[in-house]
Chains A and B, each alone.
Chain A
């Protein structure tokens, strides 16, 4: 509570309310009105989230700004919200992404504008709810509700194969979620509560822990996505409109990793340890193998999608080496990936809006016509390949450092990403941007306008700021991460 206001509820419900108002503007006659409401709504959503950082107590590991109201008493479900160092930055990342997406879709989206804007605003609120919920059922409700707007976004404004992608996305994620629901009901029947913090203290046998871990694993691994359940992501990314890809990459992928930190590790610590080898193996396959897959892509969006999977492999790797630097590295990597991948998709979107092609081979020599764009794209490509001084470096470096302490070969394999990442990103950059102008379409390109400059500049500042001075990020999460690791180190077996 700040100034007597339930700040967390505001962060969740303001964007949703704005979304409903935008929806009420009706058809495309009022498209401009819808845009004019959506932008202030999304900015307001970001502004109300700022006090979360300024009033955040860095030294406390517990939940802050807690709100708790009974919700469904028959099942002891509470409307229980709170954030700690783990969720703080994810909430802020999400709140920052929404206005950028609204701006990015400003002119590009011409049909059903109000529904497009509303879907993003409503989704932003729901995702905030996922990061803030401290009640397992509340979490589940937000978690599933998140699918509905994304399904619509991919299916309505997506590319030619959008229906397949949307349904694949929905069913993949639903499968995982339903198993998680069974695990949550099991925990409820055992502990008589849906409070996540009660689950942390609930003793569990090894068998139960393994089963619960697997149920959570299916839910979260699909969202991350981890190899081999990643196949929905390239489809969804390629078919989604630019805004959808940005939100998918920047925010949606984070909820899976967040789930591991909030549920799997503290609720089933012994199973997490027992299965860490398995998790690390999958993460390394994602890092190395998917990195190689990215190398051969001819479609820019697909390339970035695979690069996302590879980068998220770093996140899960960092989480499952159970060291403070590894976990913090994973979190920093998540935030950084949010900025970088969002920016990369926006860059591809800028090109796509002009040429209506995502194929690398259709481009070449873009720098001649779009110098300013080339500069931005350069920065984000560097960040994507983990160049020191950009945000991409900080997280990867911390995870590699953590891995090095655990095992040299682990670190060695993980570090190959610095090579592959640079290879696929810069090679793509070279083919698209450099060289002579390859065809007449490229010749007709015009450089970015002020609207595009705005969102790319915001992300550029974020990427550079985080790369140069990552301390505020690490500082806020330190206490919570240590607390989490303490939970994980403590056996639950009796």
Chain B
């Protein structure tokens, strides 16, 4: 029996984060501070350290460890750093909110970091089992975060729904994975790929497994018809938690989808791309049309998320490297847009006022032209109007899909994005054309305002100069494809 120490470099960021997390949990108990400034700063610092470690420990060649269960390549680094940035931004946006709502407890920060850890494991997983572990770590932290506002029955209900449906989806996913295991004899994504390529695997069982896996993934992404939880959870959860669910986990879910479908199940591309195209069309249709009827901004953004996921799937179902890198660009831009949109709700909210109704944005231009302008950029970016980043995200995905020969899908997508433009425009209309109903000055800390401003301007910047991020996405995907 010889034991050799595994190479820990690929997992270094996770180890660092876990260490920091353990320390923060203890320090949080020691320091008596109602504002939790120490915990907050330590959380931000540990995210920063993780980012540095991630950047320095990554290489362009994929590194495997723990008997091939774990992988680190350019894509994992980019997505991990993306997750750190979005979590760091959301923590800074939500400070004021959680203080005034009695959510300011150490658990908020530690659960956030646990969720980040789960995402990192998901992003780096190279084995069905590791994937599942990461997914559950992330999901359980999020369930708890939704329920953090104990006294609010809306939040508790949302948490319950999220938990029950999430557990169901996990079960479906596991069932699918077990079928794939049965057909191929392995949980390792690389070996699954080999087994399918060799033609030894039973195709019926495989395809059956793929159906369940796609259903599970669809649930995690929030694609129609597995989207039921999204509006209620988005609406019911405290806004910072909604923002959390809406942003970084989508990056992890993207990695997850990519690892399984384009990695392990690439030879079955015809089967899953058909399923995804149905999910994509339904998501765009239901998301965009239902969003029109919403009066609550959080619900509207929930449906908008669903439609964005449809677009994301459009990139993935192209089944080409070009498509995957477009989808990755899309998901990164999407995370930034979501952060900005919910960040604005958080900024406008104050004690006893949630600012989550559409009408709460009435006349924002008269109250604060700068914030209205930032929201304008975010809304046009979500609608995909140039010169904002959302345009290039949609454009890249459409180009990839058209190149793969999906003309019908592309035209459908275009028509639904026209319908979608209507409800984003309505926000702009409320902000610019109507007069304000409430004239309270906008509170909010200086750093949150600064970061939110930068977030909005980034939409414009990435819309005018998208090249660097696009190249990064292309490199990431190429690097991750080297692993197979």
- Give how many A residues have a beta carbon under 8 Å from the other chain's beta carbons: 36
- Known contacts A141-B391, A145-B386; is A174 also within 8 Å of B418 by CB? yes
Q: Is the CB of B403 within 8 A of A155?
A: no
Closest-by-CB residue of A relative to B392 is A72
A440 to B220, alpha carbons, bound, how many Å? 70
A79 to chain B, nearest CB (A): 10
Choose one: B385, B415, B418, B433; the contact of A147 (CB below 8 Å). Answer: B385
Residues in A whose Cβ lies below 8 Å from that of B396: 74-75
CB of B210 within 8 Å of the partner chain = no
Answer whether residue A140 sits at the interface, using C-beta atoms and an 8 A cutoff. Answer: yes
Cβ B418 vs Cβ A171 within 8 A: yes
Q: Is the CB of A155 within 8 A of B429?
A: yes
Q: How far is the CB of A149 from chain B (nearest CB, A)?
A: 11
A293 interfacial contact with B, CB 8 Å: no
Contact A175 B467 (CB under 8 A): no
In B328-386, the 8 Å CB interface with A consists of 365, 369, 376, 380, 385-386
Contact with A along B409-453 (1 / 0, CB 8 A): 011001101100110011011001100000000000000000000
Interface presence of B399 (CB below 8 A): yes
| Whole-angstrom CA separation of A319 from B380 in the bound complex | 34
Encoded as 1 (CB less than 8 Å from any A CB) or 0, chain B from 62 to 94 comes to 000000000000000000000000000000000
A63 at the interface (CB under 8 A from B): no
Q: Among the listed A71, A171, A179, A182, which residue makes an inter-chain contact with B421, where contact means beta carbons less than 8 Å apart?
A: A171
Centre residue among A74, A75, A137, A145 by max chain B CB count within 10 A: A74
Q: Across the interface, do B399 and A141 meet the contact criterion of CB distance under 8 Å?
A: no
Q: Is A444 interfacial (CB 8 A cutoff)?
A: no
- Cα distance A137–B365 in the bound complex, in angstroms: 31
Contacts of A151 in B (CB 8 A): 425, 428
CA distance A141 to B385 in the complex (A): 8
- Is B181 at the interface (CB under 8 A from chain A)? no
A74 with B467, Cβ < 8 A, contacts A145-B386, A167-B422 known: yes
Contact between B414 and A182, CB atoms less than 8 A apart: yes
Question: Which residue from chain A places its CB closest to the CB of B386 in the assembled complex?
Answer: A141
Contact with A along B452-470 (1 / 0, CB 8 A): 0000000000000011001
In the complex, which residues of chain B have a beta carbon less than 8 angstroms from the beta carbon of A147? 385
Contact A141 B387 (CB under 8 A): yes
A473 contacts B by Cβ under 8 Å: no
- How far does the alpha carbon of A124 sit from the alpha carbon of B42 in the complex, in Å? 49
Whether B471 contacts A74 by the Cβ 8 Å rule is yes
What is the bound-complex CA distance between A175 and B429, given in angstroms? 19
Query: A96 on the interface (CB 8 Å rule)?
Result: no
Report B-chain residues with C-beta under 8 Å of the C-beta of A179: 411, 414
Chain B nearest CB: distance from A60 CB in Å? 31
Across the interface, which residues of B come within 8 angstroms of A188, CB to CB? 399
Task: For B466, give the chain A residue with the smallest CB separation.
Answer: A72
Q: Is A274's CB within 8 Å of the partner chain B?
A: no
Instruction: Tell me, in angstroms, the Cα distance from A74 to B415 when the chains sit together.
Output: 26
Chain A's closest residue to B469 (CB) is A74
> How far is B410's CA from A188's CA once the two chains are assembled, in angstroms?
15
Smallest CB gap from B415: residue in A: A178
Which residues 250-274 of B have a CB within 8 angstroms of A? none
Q: How far is the CA of A262 from the CA of B149 in the complex (A)?
A: 59
Asked if A171 and B422 make an inter-chain contact with CB atoms under 8 angstroms apart, the answer reads yes
Checking A71, A140, A167, A189 against B467 with a beta-carbon cut-off of 8 angstroms, the contacting residue is: A71
What residues of chain B lie closer than 8 Å to A43, measured between beta carbons? Answer: none
**Is the CB–CB distance between A181 and B398 below 8 Å?**
yes
A170 within 8 A of B: yes
The answer to whether the Cβ of B395 comes within 8 Å of any Cβ in the partner chain is yes
Task: Please tell me if B474 contacts chain A, counting CB pairs below 8 Å.
Answer: yes
Q: Would you give the shortest CB distance from A73 to chain B, in whole angstroms? A: 6
Answer whether A186 and B402 are a contact pair too, CB < 8 Å, given A72-B392, A74-B474, A166-B429.
yes
Taking CB atoms, residues of chain B closer than 8 Å to A74 are: 396, 467, 470-471, 474
Q: Which A135-192 residues have C-beta < 8 A from chain B?
A: 137, 140-141, 144-145, 147-148, 151-152, 155-156, 162-163, 166-167, 170-171, 174-175, 178-179, 181-182, 185-186, 188-189
Q: Is the CB of B467 within 8 A of A72?
A: yes
State in angstroms the CA–CA spacing of A364 and B369 once bound together.
43
Q: Is A170 in contact with B391, judged by CB distance below 8 angstroms?
A: no
Q: Write 17 A-B pairs (CB below 8 A) sorted by A numbering.
A: A72-B467, A72-B470, A145-B387, A148-B380, A152-B428, A155-B429, A156-B433, A162-B433, A167-B422, A167-B429, A171-B422, A174-B385, A178-B417, A182-B398, A182-B402, A182-B410, A182-B411
5 closest Cβ pairs, A-B complex: A141-B386, A155-B433, A178-B414, A74-B470, A144-B386
